[in-house]
C-alpha cells in the first residue's frame, strides 16, 4: 500500500445503529481501515452542541442534538489511505432514503432508520481540519504523531521491523506451516526483539 496518502478520520456510530456496531466495525476492517482508537460514550447536550457547532441555527439543529444524545455513540479513529473520503464514500448520502436509492450497499442504506431520514447510522469527518478537531473532541488525551510517509516510513520500517520480518519469513519458508499467518504471529511473539521471553 502506498504510504503517502494515509489519513486519519473520525467515524461515529450514532445511537440508532449502536446495537449493530459489531457489523459496522467488520465492514470497516474489511474495507482495509485500521481502527486506531475506540470509545463508547453518551454525549451530554453541551457536548453534542460543541461537536455539531457548525449546524447551530439550522432548522434541524435541535432534532439533531436530541437524536445524537438519545443513547450511546461509538467514536472510532480510522486510519487508511485517503481515509476521509473513503469512509464518507462507504457511508453514502446523508439522507437514508437517498442512500437506499443511490447507494444500497452503503452503511447509511443498510443501517439507517427507514422511518427517519436523518437517523443515518453513522458520521464521518468531512475534511482534514474537521477530522483533527473531531478526533481531539473524543480523544483529548491522545497525542498522535504525524503519520510517517515516504522516506521517513521506509527508514522506520527498515530498522524497526524489516530485520525481524526477514528472519521470520525465512523460517516460514523452511517450515511451510498449514496456517502461515498464525505461525507467523506466534513466531513474532516468541522472537520479538523488543521483549525478553517470559514477559
Which active-site residues does the annotation give?
Answer: 123
Using the 8-state DSSP alphabet, how is residue 3 labeled?
Answer: S
Q: How many angstroms separate the CA atoms of 122 and 16, rounded?
A: 9
Question: Is position 132 an interface residue for ligand ATP (rule: CB under 6 A)?
Answer: no
Question: Is position 102 an interface residue for ligand ATP (rule: CB under 6 A)?
Answer: no
- Looking at beta carbons only, is 40 or 154 nearer to ligand ATP? 40
- Looking at beta carbons only, is 80 or 124 nearer to ligand ATP? 124
- Looking at beta carbons only, is 123 or 187 nearer to ligand ATP? 123
Least spacing, CB of residue 135 vs ligand ATP, in Å = 14
DSSP string, 67-108: HHTSS-EEEEEEEEETHHHHHHHHH--SSHHHHHHH-TTSHH
Among 31, 37, 72, 126, the residue binding ligand ATP under the rule CB under 6 A is 126
- Looking at beta carbons only, is 100 or 123 nearer to ligand ATP? 123
Residue ranges in 104-123 that form contacts with ligand ATP under rule CB under 6 A = 118, 120, 123
Least spacing, CB of residue 44 vs ligand ATP, in Å = 18
Among 15, 80, 112, 124, the residue binding ligand ATP under the rule CB under 6 A is 124
Q: How many angstroms separate the Cα of 135 from the Cα of each of 3, 9, 80, 155?
A: 21, 7, 15, 28
Question: Is position 64 an interface residue for ligand ATP (rule: CB under 6 A)?
Answer: yes
Render the burial of 26-46: b for 16+ CB within 10 Å, e for the rest: eebeeeebeebbbeeeebeee
Per CB under 6 A, residues contacting ligand ATP are: 60, 64, 94, 118, 120, 123-124, 126
Amino acid at each position: 500500500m502506498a504510504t503517502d496518502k494515509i489519513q486519519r478520520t473520525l467515524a461515529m456510530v450514532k445511537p440508532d445503529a449502536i446495537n449493530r456496531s459489531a457489523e459496522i466495525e467488520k465492514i470497516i476492517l474489511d474495507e482495509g481501515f485500521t481502527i486506531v482508537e475506540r470509545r463508547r460514550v453518551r454525549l451530554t447536550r453541551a457536548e453534542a452542541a460543541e461537536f455539531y457547532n457548525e449546524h447551530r441555527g439550522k432548522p434541524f439543529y435541535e432534532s439533531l442534538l436530541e437524536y445524537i444524545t438519545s443513547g450511546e455513540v461509538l467514536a472510532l479513529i480510522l486510519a487508511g489511505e485517503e481515509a476521509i473520503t473513503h469512509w464518507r464514500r462507504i457511508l453514502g448520502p446523508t439522507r437514508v432514503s437517498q442512500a437506499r436509492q443511490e447507494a444500497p450497499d452503503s452503511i447509511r442504506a443498510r443501517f439507517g432508520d427507514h422511518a427517519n431520514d436523518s437517523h443515518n447510522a453513522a458520521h464521518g469527518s468531512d475534511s482534514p481540519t474537521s477530522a483533527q478537531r473531531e478526533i481531539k473532541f473524543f480523544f483529548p488525551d491522545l497525542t498522535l504523531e504525524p503519520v510517517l510517509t515516504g522516506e521517513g516510513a521506509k527508514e522506520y520500517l527498515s530498522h524497526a521491523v524489516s530485520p525481524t520480518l526477514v528472519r521470520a519469513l525465512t523460517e516460514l519458508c523452511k517450515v511451510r506451516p498449514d496456517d502461515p499467518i498464525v505461525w507467523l504471529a506466534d513466531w513474532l511473539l516468541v522472537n520479538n526483539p523488543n521483549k525478553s521471553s517470559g514477559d
